[in-house]
Structure 1
């Protein structure tokens, strides 16, 4: 079967390409750059503009299924480009898919399209959405992108929406924020952590969930692609131990972080860092229990154990040259 993947050179994209090629599909990989780590055969790379319907029509022509992964991730409160890419980009791809007769579109949204602080402690597909103006632009734009998609679904497009939680694990040549933290822990460079937690999901399970949604999902439905709730202190300690390191000895209560945010956030912004920001801490402060039962029952989705992900990720860091067996960092040739 011929399929197309937008954002194919990214973290989720690379992992999805591998699964699709292994399954024997002919893949059109759509991105501005070509990944050096994608399968050598079975993939045709196309540079197309996800904000331009005509450009996307050409790229999607002949595809039966399209997986839309393109998104701009940011912790900023306002970012016009992120808003445009995460909303108008979804609509342009959807309209192009409808126009050329794509059988199904799978849109990779995010758990952040849900208002995690207003879900009452448990988050499922019926939880409140990220509409409040005080919520970071990424969260609001992911929900707005779903609204754009649903309008095209109403016009006749067959599409489903997946909402992964915090994505981590191998393979990642970037690294993502979470994976970068785990690499630092594997190097013994994280002496302390913050309390709080988040639902983390293996990127390979996300890729499998997207494929399952394309095959079994119901038109217009959302599916939370979840993993396991992990405390931040616990997850960095596991990464350190997997590399033979001791791991953090201390953890700071989130209440302490909240008190210093008014001072730390503007300082970080001045130096180009958003690590200590309300946007960065909001998910940890909310820490909802994500109910992935719908994806499990309807898609047959089953996330692997967290220990397996962390062990595999540390092993990947070593084999990819990003970490020596003694915990020393080695650079990689690319950050796609």
Structure 2
């Protein structure tokens, strides 16, 4: 039996699908308030629990061979307390449950943001020397802290391996991420300008493949970057414009203007409880301007990880969004 926490999320539901396809018995740990649309029709056992409460999740770990821990808050808008409670406290509880129930292996999905950003021109590579005080944003700090908890548990005897995806895109996204919302807005003709930034994006199907490969081949206590390809915002729009015969934004927003407006958009989003995330936030702008040069050489060499082209991923993402979103 395999257990997937955060099973209703983007990576989570695609992982559940792939494990079932490979003949695995899968148990999904979900919150009582979770929308189960992403798991509808799948042969999966649903168990309700909250990773913030150890007593509510212990039963889900009984009889489990492998735990894939993906439950977490992924936000580029500030929600400090919840981020730490779930991402750090929740991971501690998962570690405790794995230890008590003698789970054979824990695969933790961290983030590329857990790493300290190197100088421009130098790629981000795997290291265990993480420092939450030297990364930017609540999400990044929480993922660095949670990853360190995994490494501590390994030193105490837990069999665990860590993966670090970059920006995830692809089909089966039922709750749009910031990049997903941006693509939707573009497809609906709502974006007429862009900022001069770039990031490394990877297909969710390749991330899932990398997670399973890490489970099967990853060395105990090691961590692996699951990246795709670095691409500019402008190039994203150009690819989608050509594929779907849409007008490509030609106006470049000055960085100083974007930085000035981002806090206002965040304030409006929080104050009026808007469901649609702002296209650009303080953190997303920082991310697009940061050094996102990465390498998946270690994952390719040790695991056999091989991501598809960014063009294929973007087109598949847009088709999914076009089909499922208004």
Normalising by structure 1, we get a TM-score of: 0.88
Aligned to 2:313: 309
Once the two structures are TM-superposed, the CA of residue 82 in structure 1 deviates from its matched residue by: 0.6
Once the two structures are TM-superposed, the CA of residue 279 in structure 1 deviates from its matched residue by: 1.7
Q: Measure, in 2, the Cα distance between the counterparts of 1:207 and 1:4.
A: 14
Aligned to 1:221: 222
- Structure 1 segments unaligned to the other structure (5+ residues): 323-329, 331-336
The change in CA–CA distance for 1:34 and 1:156 in structure 2 (over 3 A counts) is: farther
Aligned to 1:22: 21
Q: Contact 1:187–1:245 (CA<8 Å) still a contact in 2?
A: no
Q: 2:301 aligns with which of 297, 302, 305?
A: 297
Aligned to 1:161: 162
Higher mean displacement: 305-314 or 199-208: 305-314
1:164-183 → structure 2 map (5 Å cutoff)? 164-183=165-184
- Whether 1:264 aligns to 2:261 is yes
Q: Contact 1:169–1:310 (CA<8 Å) still a contact in 2?
A: yes
1:1-336 → structure 2 map (5 Å cutoff)? 2-32=1-31, 33=34, 35-38=36-39, 40-76=41-77, 79-116=80-117, 118=119, 121-126=122-127, 129-132=130-133, 135-252=136-253, 256-258=254-256, 261=259, 263-272=260-269, 275-320=279-324, 322=325, 330=326
Higher mean displacement: 175-184 or 123-132: 123-132
Q: Contact 2:184–2:322 (CA<8 Å) still a contact in 1?
A: no
Q: Contact 1:166–1:198 (CA<8 Å) still a contact in 2?
A: yes
Q: Measure, in 2, the Cα distance between the counterparts of 1:184 and 1:265.
A: 17
The change in CA–CA distance for 1:259 and 1:248 in structure 2 (over 3 A counts) is: closer
Normalising by structure 2, we get a TM-score of: 0.90
Once the two structures are TM-superposed, the CA of residue 118 in structure 1 deviates from its matched residue by: 4.8
Q: Measure, in 2, the Cα distance between the counterparts of 1:140 and 1:72.
A: 12
Q: Measure, in 1, the Cα distance between the counterparts of 2:233 and 2:119.
A: 21
Once the two structures are TM-superposed, the CA of residue 175 in structure 1 deviates from its matched residue by: 1.2
Q: Contact 1:242–1:314 (CA<8 Å) still a contact in 2?
A: no
Once the two structures are TM-superposed, the CA of residue 114 in structure 1 deviates from its matched residue by: 1.2
How far does the alpha carbon of each residue in 1:160-207 deviate from its partner, in whole angstroms, 9 at most, with x for none?
A: 010000001112121111111112222332211111210000011111
Q: Measure, in 2, the Cα distance between the counterparts of 1:241 and 1:182.
A: 14
The change in CA–CA distance for 1:257 and 1:69 in structure 2 (over 3 A counts) is: same
Q: Measure, in 1, the Cα distance between the counterparts of 2:17 and 2:57.
A: 23
